[in-house]
Amino acid sequence: MAEEAKWYVVHTYSGYENTVKATIEKTVETRHLENLIHVVSIPMETVTELTDNGPKTYDRKVFPGYVLVKMIMTDESWYIIKNVRGVTGFVGSGTKPTPLTEEEVLQLGVEKHEIVVNYDVGDNVKITDGPLTSFIGVVDSLDIDKNKVRVIVSMFGRETPVELELDQVETVNP
C-alpha cells in the first residue's frame, strides 16, 4: 500500500473516550485490520493534587472528548471509525478528515522520536543546525527529557551559553 499511516483526531461524546478506544481496538482485532488501523491513543497526563490528606496523584485526559488514531485513511477505515458508538466524527474540514502534522504529533508527545546522545557534559561538540552552524563549543548541561543541551560557545572573545535541541549538535572527532 503506497499511502503512509497518519495520526487523525476522532471526536467522541464526553466520557466515551475509553469505550471508543476499546471498541476500535476490538474491531481491528476481529476484522484483522492491523494493516489499516495501527494505534489508538488517549493522551493522558499525570496530575498531583495537594489535599489536606497529602499529595494525591492521578491520570487525567489531556483532551477530553477526543481520541487519536494512527491509521491509513481509506473508505473502509473511515467507515469503521465513524460508525463506532460514541464517535461523532473526525476533526477536519467538511467530510474530509485532516491528519495531524509532524510538529503537532511531536508537541502532543504521542510518538517519541528517540535521539541517541553520544556526548556528555564537558565534551567538545559542533553545532550542526541553526544560526551558529559549524561553531564549536563545550557541553555545559544536558536535559534529555526536555530535548535540550546547553553549549558554551566562544563568540567575539566571550563565553556565551547557547541552548539547542539534542539533535542540533554532534561530537567533534579528536
Pick from 107, 122, 37, 125: nearest CA to 73: 37
**127 pairs with which residues across the strands?**
169
The answer to whether residue 137 scores a pLDDT higher than 70 is: yes
31 φ/ψ angles, rounded to the nearest 5 degrees: -95, 0
Of 108, 138, 158, which marks where a domain is finished?
A: 108
User: 51 is in which domain, residue-wise?
Assistant: 6-108
Of 108, 142, 162, which marks where a domain is finished?
A: 108
CATH number at residue 19: 3.30.70.940
CATH number at residue 128: 2.30.30.30
138 shares a domain with 66: no
Half-sphere exposure of 156 (CA within 13 A, CB side): 1
pLDDT digits (tens, 9 = 90+) for 146-174: 778 999 999 888 999 999 888 888 888 75
pLDDT-derived band at 109 (thresholds 50, 70, 90) equals low
22 shares a domain with 81: yes
The DSSP line for 25-72 is: HHHHHHHT-TTTEEEEE--EEEEEEEETTEEEEEEEESSTTEEEEEE-
164 inside domain: yes
90 φ/ψ angles, rounded to the nearest 5 degrees: -90, 155
73 shares a domain with 22: yes
User: How large is the average pLDDT for residues 60-71?
Assistant: 90
- The confidence score (pLDDT) of residue 119 equals 84
115 inside domain: no
* pTM given for the model: 0.62
